[in-house]
């Protein structure tokens, strides 16, 4: 009873109710929250601190940034979900908050799109600054092993390089990207490589229609190669990808271990500064997958940036015992 009363006291204030509604929609930094609520940073921080202490919110530091989102476990997390379900989305204050949030999201998306367009021609060169890609590609091939691949799905294909590496081992390769500049380069690269079984298509990997993409049967292997760190909610990408896998299908993720290179946010549009095994494992479980293997690829002595590349191999059960739950949904 004491815990419930503490939680009720923590939400019984207009700004805190707005915070619950806002953070049910997105994971945000303090700066972004102040832009939406149009309140001072000290005031917002005080509210956030109280709600974190009550167990309603979770605080996740990443370098000099701190992200906040609704708590996913604990008694107060259930209270937070119940309260947000009772809120009227048409309430004028909440509707204005939602509109300002969409403006922030659009600004982010526009900045990322401008970056991709500007850097499409030298994307592989930028990736090489982090770690020699040849070593990563070979490790990906080794981790997948000799198991036959029917349909290969490369999400966020960029220049199509992963299709070049893995399509010779697959019956069919499909690359998806939402940058027209990237797709133009990928098509040219696939033609140059003479890969007749690989193609690229325009699409948003968070809202893919497998039928429209021709992904039938579903993918035997899906790849997210240096993709997740661009997303505000990478767990949603993992959940969406899980739905595109055939039974016993595998998801191979290549990304960075946690790091503190803040300049990658400003100069290279990175949203997240790496991921831990525990974090990826939790996303896998929530998506109905299991984490079967990991591999660390530390930078060499001559690496331009001290980043460790991580590989995670996830697998879908042969026969799913349960439907994947949505991120944030109670187990």
Q: For residue 308, what is the domain's CATH number?
A: 3.40.50.150
329 within a domain of the structure (yes/no): no
Q: 43 and 146, same structural domain?
A: no
Q: Average of pLDDT values for 199-215?
A: 73
CA distance 237 to 235: 5
Query: If pLDDT is split at 50, 70 and 90, which confidence band does 126 have?
Result: low
Give yes or no for residue 125 having a pLDDT over 60: no
Tally of residues, the chain: 331
Q: pTM to 2 decimals?
A: 0.70
Q: 271 and 183, same structural domain?
A: yes
Q: Count structural domains, the chain.
A: 2
CA distance 19 to 45: 11
116 within a domain of the structure (yes/no): no
Residue 199, pLDDT score:
87
Q: 130 and 70, same structural domain?
A: no
Which secondary-structure segment (H or E) carries 279? Answer: helix 277-286
23 within a domain of the structure (yes/no): yes
Which secondary-structure segment (H or E) carries 190? Answer: helix 180-193
For residue 54, what are its two tokens?
């009550």
CA distance 208 to 241: 9
Locus of tokens 């595109």: 244
CA distance 173 to 162: 10
Give yes or no for residue 56 having a pLDDT over 50: yes
CA distance 125 to 211: 34
**Could you say which of 28, 62, 87 is where a domain stops?**
87
- List the one residue out of 241, 244, 254 whose CA is nearest residue 284: 241
Q: Between 146 and 77, whose confidence is greater? A: 146
The SS3 of residue 294 is: strand
Q: 242 and 143, same structural domain?
A: yes
Query: If pLDDT is split at 50, 70 and 90, which confidence band does 5 have?
Result: confident
Across 298-311, b (16+ Cβ under 10 Å) vs e yields ebeeeeeeebbbbb
Q: 20 and 68, same structural domain?
A: yes
Q: Tell me the pLDDT tens digit for each residue of 251-262.
A: 999 999 998 888
326 within a domain of the structure (yes/no): no
Give yes or no for residue 116 having a pLDDT over 70: no
CA distance 4 to 135: 52
Q: 220 and 78, same structural domain?
A: no
50 within a domain of the structure (yes/no): yes
Q: Average of pLDDT values for 223-238?
A: 93
143 within a domain of the structure (yes/no): yes
14 within a domain of the structure (yes/no): yes
106 within a domain of the structure (yes/no): no
**Residue ranges making up the domain that contains 166:** 121-315
Residue 143, pLDDT score:
97
Query: If pLDDT is split at 50, 70 and 90, which confidence band does 323 have?
Result: very low
Least confident of 105-109, 209-213, 320-324: 320-324
Q: 216 and 278, same structural domain?
A: yes
Q: For residue 38, what is the domain's CATH number?
A: 1.10.10.10
Query: If pLDDT is split at 50, 70 and 90, which confidence band does 162 have?
Result: very high
Residue 71, pLDDT score:
83
Residue 289, pLDDT score:
97
């Amino acid at each position: 009873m004491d815990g419930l009363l503490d939680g009720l006291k923590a939400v019984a204030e207009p700004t805190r109710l707005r915070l619950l509604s806002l953070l049910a929609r997105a994971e945000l930094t303090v700066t972004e929250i102040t832009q939406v609520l149009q309140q001072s940073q000290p005031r917002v921080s005080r509210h956030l601190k109280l709600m974190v202490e009550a167990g309603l919110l979770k605080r996740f530091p990443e370098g000099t940034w701190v992200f906040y989102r609704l708590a996913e476990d604990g008694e107060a997390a259930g209270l937070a979900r119940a309260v947000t379900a009772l809120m009227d989305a048409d309430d004028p204050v909440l509707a204005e908050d939602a509109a300002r949030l969409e403006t922030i999201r659009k600004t982010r998306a526009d900045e990322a799109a401008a970056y991709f367009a500007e850097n499409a021609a030298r994307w592989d060169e930028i990736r090489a600054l982090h770690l020699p890609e040849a070593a990563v590609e070979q490790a990906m091939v080794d981790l997948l092993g000799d198991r036959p691949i029917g349909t290969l799905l490369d999400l966020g294909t960029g220049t199509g390089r992963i299709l070049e590496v893995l399509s010779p081992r697959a019956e069919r390769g499909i690359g998806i990207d939402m940058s027209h500049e990237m797709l133009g380069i990928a098509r040219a690269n696939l033609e140059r490589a003479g890969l007749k079984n690989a193609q690229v298509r325009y699409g948003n990997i968070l809202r893919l229609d497998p039928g429209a993409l021709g992904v039938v049967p579903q993918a035997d292997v899906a790849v997210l190669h240096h993709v997740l760190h661009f997303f505000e909610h990478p767990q949603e990408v993992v959940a969406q990808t899980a739905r595109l896998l055939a039974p016993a299908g595998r998801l191979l993720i290549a990304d960075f271990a946690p790091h503190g290179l803040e300049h990658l946010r400003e100069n290279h549009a990175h949203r997240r500064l790496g991921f831990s095994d525990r974090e990826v494992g939790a996303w896998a479980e929530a998506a109905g997958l299991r984490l079967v293997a990991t591999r660390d690829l530390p930078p060499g002595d001559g690496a331009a940036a001290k980043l460790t590349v991580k590989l995670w191999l996830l697998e879908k059960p042969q026969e799913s015992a349960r439907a994947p739950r949505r991120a944030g949904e109670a187990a």
